[in-house]
Amino acid sequence: MVNEMLALIPKDPVMTVDRNTKGDPTRYCVDAKTEDVLQTQRLAIIAGSGLLIYGAFKLKGSLFLKAGAIALAAGNIYLHMNSYATVRKAKQKP
């Protein structure tokens, strides 16, 4: 029930793998419904990382601890924003 409300875990994901002639995977693809759930996950991670940056500023401790927490959160935001934007662009109708 919680999963249905938050939709953060895909139900029955379908994944296909394209392989080259040697049998090595060259591309992984998931179905559109699963990708929608992954987009929701990305937004949740972006929001959570923003809260982590706020918490890092309020953290009582060494400057390196604060800088490390901020760097991890900023990296998370950067990575997931790029992933979100790439998928969003790909889903636009031509």
Q: Which residue has the higher pLDDT, 1 or 6?
A: 6
pLDDT of residue 61: 85
Please tell me the distance from the alpha carbon of residue 77 to that of residue 81, in angstroms, as a whole number: 6
**CA nearest to 29, candidates 48, 15, 46:** 15
Sequence-separated (6 or more) residues with CB below 8 Å from residue 44: 8
Predicted model pTM? 0.79
- Is pLDDT of 19 > 70? yes
Summarised one tens digit per residue, pLDDT across range 44-69 is 999 999 999 999 999 888 999 999 99
Mean pLDDT of 21-25: 94
Mean pLDDT of 28-42: 91
pLDDT of residue 1: 46
